[in-house]
């Protein structure tokens, strides 16, 4: 009986698994450690860039306030500063930690010189860490790939197929691009618990030597497909989602980039196809109309 309860609990946790539009996992958690100091660097990398800038700015101000208070312990230790003036102590700290050194104010006592030495060490380490974090945030290779807002189900070589398309927004190519599609849906176990099952979909083509324009991904719905016999109602009832992951080498960055997307049950469109987006210019060059990228038209 205890084992049965544990199974149901695991199934309940699994059944809550769902995804955001960018295919990141959205799931509530209970238990476990909420914070580990070893994950500080990872936490910085997952913060929004606005949060990183705000946090670094707050840290910079607080450090200068702290050292300004230390300088005030010796009111006559800073030449050229008002005795006991917090503003002068604060700005002297700013000049010290940033190694500006205007020369109007300078340390003249042993205590202040020791504090200046400590602040210089803190400043060197802090600026090195902050520079590394900001550089990592801005230099991370990211693919600029757009996914169609919907999927269409229309015939492909005489068989029904699920299709969606992708386009490279940059004017370069993603080399050795590879795409994988996973279907996630809710199913009921024999003992009544709901679980989320994952199925890897077989694609007509899952690799491309170079991805520069658009790419229509096709999965044929046959007897071996988990979508065989699916209807709009059954997709909604089972909370079906399609998770797409694209990976390849950016020819400009010479680094691996990836992009991901999630489709929900309501994104499936039946008996429709994507509008044509490829055209030729008067000079005979091939072009792509991204303004019609998400458009669909009825089959026929």
pLDDT in tens, 159-169: 999 999 999 98
**164 and 282 share one domain:** yes
**52 and 135 share one domain:** yes
289 lies in some domain: yes
* pTM, 2 dp: 0.71
**291 and 152 share one domain:** yes
16 lies in some domain: no
Read off the pLDDT of residues 179-213 as tens digits, 9 standing for 90 and up. 999 999 998 877 778 888 899 999 999 999 989 88
30 lies in some domain: no
**51 and 169 share one domain:** no
Domain end call among 113, 139, 165: 139
Domain end call among 106, 139, 172: 139
pLDDT of 18 above 70: no
**152 and 82 share one domain:** no
**151 and 241 share one domain:** yes
9 lies in some domain: no
**272 and 197 share one domain:** yes
Q: What pLDDT, on the 0 to 100 scale, is given for residue 137? A: 82
Specify the number of domains making up the chain.
Answer: 2
**160 and 292 share one domain:** yes
Read off the pLDDT of residues 260-274 as tens digits, 9 standing for 90 and up. 999 999 999 999 999
**131 and 187 share one domain:** no
**152 and 119 share one domain:** no
13 lies in some domain: no
32 lies in some domain: no
Read off the pLDDT of residues 51-66 as tens digits, 9 standing for 90 and up. 888 999 999 999 999 9
Task: Check which CATH number belongs to the domain holding 119 and give it.
Answer: 1.10.287.70
Segments forming the whole domain that contains residue 118: 38-139
12 lies in some domain: no
Task: Check which CATH number belongs to the domain holding 261 and give it.
Answer: 2.60.40.1400
**115 and 160 share one domain:** no
Domain end call among 122, 139, 156: 139
Q: What pLDDT, on the 0 to 100 scale, is given for residue 21? A: 67
- Can you give the chain as a three-state secondary structure string? CHHHHHHHHHHHHHHCCEECCCCCEECCCCCCCCCCHHHHHHHHHHCCHHHHHHHHHHHHHHHHHHHHHHHCCCCCCEECCCCCCHHHHHHHHHHHHCCCCCCCCEECCHHHHHHHHHHHHHHHHHHHHHHHHHHHHHHCCCCCEEECCCEEEEEECCEEEEEEEEEECCCCCEEEEEEEEEEEEEEECCCCCEEEEEEECCCCCCEEEEECCEEEEEEECCCCCCCCCCCHHHHHHCCCEEEEEEEEEECCCCEEEEEEEEEEHHHEEECEEECCCEEECCCCCEEECHHHCCCEEECC
**154 and 273 share one domain:** yes
């Amino acid at each position: 009986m205890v084992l049965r309860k544990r199974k149901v609990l695991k199934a309940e946790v699994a059944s809550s698994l769902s995804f955001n539009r960018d295919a990141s996992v959205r799931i509530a958690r209970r238990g476990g450690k909420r914070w580990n100091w070893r994950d500080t660097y990872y936490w910085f990398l997952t913060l929004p860039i606005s949060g990183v800038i705000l946090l670094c700015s707050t840290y910079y101000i607080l450090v200068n306030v702290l050292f300004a208070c230390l300088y005030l312990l010796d009111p006559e230790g800073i030449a050229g500063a008002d005795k006991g003036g917090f503003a002068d102590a604060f700005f002297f700290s700013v000049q010290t930690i940033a190694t500006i050194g205007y020369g109007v104010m300078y340390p003249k006592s042993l205590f202040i010189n020791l504090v200046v030495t400590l602040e210089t060490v803190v400043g060197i380490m802090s600026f090195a860490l902050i520079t590394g974090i900001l550089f990592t945030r801005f230099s991370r290779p990211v693919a600029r790939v757009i996914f169609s807002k919907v999927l269409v189900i229309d015939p492909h070589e005489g068989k029904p197929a699920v299709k969606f398309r992708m386009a490279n927004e940059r004017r370069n190519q993603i080399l050795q691009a590879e795409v994988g599609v996973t279907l996630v849906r809710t199913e009921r176990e024999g003992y009544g618990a709901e679980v989320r099952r994952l199925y890897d979909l077989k694609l007509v083509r899952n690799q491309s030597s170079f991805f520069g324009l658009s790419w229509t991904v096709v999965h044929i719905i046959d007897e071996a497909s988990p979508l065989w016999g699916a209807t709009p109602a059954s997709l909604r009832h089972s909370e079906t989602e399609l998770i797409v992951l694209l990976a390849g080498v950016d020819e400009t960055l010479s680094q691996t980039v990836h992009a991901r997307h999630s489709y929900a049950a309501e994104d499936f469109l039946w008996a429709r196809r994507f509008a044509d987006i490829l055209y030729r210019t008067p000079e005979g060059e091939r072009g792509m109309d991204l303004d019609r990228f998400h458009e669909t038209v009825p089959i026929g």
